[in-house]
Amino acid sequence: DSLFFKVRMDDVDLMRYIVPKGFVAIDGTSLTVCETNAKDGWFTFMLVEYTQKKIVIPGKDVGEKLNIEVDVLAKYSEASMAAIVPRVEELEGIVEKLVREMAELRAEQGELKEVKAEQAGMKAEQAGMKAEQNEIKSAVNGIAKSLNTGTVTAAWAVSEKQRGSTRTLPGPISGGTIENWKLLPNNSITGSALDNPTPEIRDGSDITTAAIVEASKAVEGGKVQTKNGVLYTLGKPRAVSNGVAEDETAPVAVKSKDAKAVSDWGKAQGSPAKPDEMESPKVAKSKFRVVGTSW
């Protein structure tokens, strides 16, 4: 006994106020909405038998006009939303801005982490360089100590962990050539330096080495090594006359009373003299530089 009515709206914009199970007034009667179609602009409602007898709508023919009044509460809701929407949109803009700033901050933090990682790498590299310098200092100190004690360190090992390989510091150390040389009683060599690597020792400077290891190698063209690890090449030896080097004078007794000793010395000098006339000969002095000492 119920009647279903389908109403098409001339003003489609009013459909936003009409919703299923909402209220709408038709020709002064408040009715419940059943279905809606906002796109096509229509809605339906139902009349029970009792309502049909009390209102004028059932007497309307298809196509007739009806007076429609939408729910005032829907209009109030729209007005409220109209005031809220701008604020919501503003908040959405703020949120979007915060999201962008957070993304930029994360990117900066990532770059900062990279910088910190790079700085940590640099610090580790500096620590490695410092450790290497300490090893070098230790090795140099060891070599210097070895030189002072008459021995030389033949090799210098550096750990593979810090260097990536093992290197060897070669030895012995070259001292250049000694010309016009002479082997002294303590097995040291004295003579003129040539091609000495020490800047202060120029060619022609007189030097005296530390004691050499093997005196038998002290020959012209030979290579001798001192006990402190310096290797020298020997040039021409110092010329000797009557068993005495050219730059020396044979020692004799001062004002000797031994006539034979004085006479023999005088003959060697080419000018015999009387014992009382002989003065003590002066030993010729040579300037030289000490480059090493061995005890």
Question: Residue ranges of the alpha helices (H) in the chain?
Answer: 49-54, 72-149, 160-163, 259-269
Main-chain dihedrals φ then ψ at residue 168, nearest 5 degrees: -125, 130
**48 has pLDDT over 90:** yes
For residues 139 and 159, what is the distance between their CA atoms, to the nearest angstrom? Answer: 13
Q: What is the pLDDT of residue 159?
A: 44
User: Mean of the pLDDT values across residues 271-281?
Assistant: 46
Count CB-CB contacts under 10 A for residue 216.
8
| Per-residue pLDDT tens over the stretch 68-125 | 999 888 887 888 888 888 888 889 999 999 999 999 998 988 888 888 888 998 999 8
Q: What is the pLDDT of residue 198?
A: 86
**6 has pLDDT over 70:** yes
> Over pLDDT 70: what percentage of the chain?
72
DSSP 1-38: --EEEEEE-SSGGGGGG--TT-EEEETTEEEEEEEEET
Are residues 226 and 178 in contact, defined by beta-carbon separation less than 8 angstroms? no
Q: Which amino acid is at 77?
A: S
User: Mean of the pLDDT values across residues 132-160?
Assistant: 62
**183 has pLDDT over 90:** yes
**169 has pLDDT over 70:** no
Q: What is the pLDDT of residue 158?
A: 41
Main-chain dihedrals φ then ψ at residue 2, nearest 5 degrees: -85, 150
Structure tokens given for 211:
């004691």
**283 has pLDDT over 50:** no
Most distant CA pair in the chain: distance in Å? 181
Q: Which residues contact 89 (CB under 8 A, 6 or more apart)?
A: none
What CA dihedral angle connects 103, 107, 112 and 115, to 10 degrees? 180
Q: What is the pLDDT of residue 155?
A: 39
| Per-residue pLDDT tens over the stretch 202-216 | 899 999 999 999 999
Q: What is the pLDDT of residue 170?
A: 52
By mean pLDDT, which of 14-28, 82-96, 163-177, 186-200 is the weakest?
163-177
Are residues 181 and 233 in contact, defined by beta-carbon separation less than 8 angstroms? no
As a 3-state breakdown, the chain gives helix, strand, coil percent values, each rounded to 5, of: 40, 20, 40
Of the spans 121-125, 137-141, 268-272, which averages the highest pLDDT? 121-125
107, 180, 242, 243, 290 from 246: Cα distances, Å: 86, 10, 10, 10, 21
Provide the edge-to-edge strand list for the sheet that holds 230-234.
223-225, 230-234, 173-183, 189-194, 206-208, 289-290
| Per-residue pLDDT tens over the stretch 227-255 | 888 999 999 999 865 555 555 544 444 44
By mean pLDDT, which of 48-52, 118-122, 166-170, 242-246 is the weakest?
166-170
Are residues 270 and 249 in contact, defined by beta-carbon separation less than 8 angstroms? no
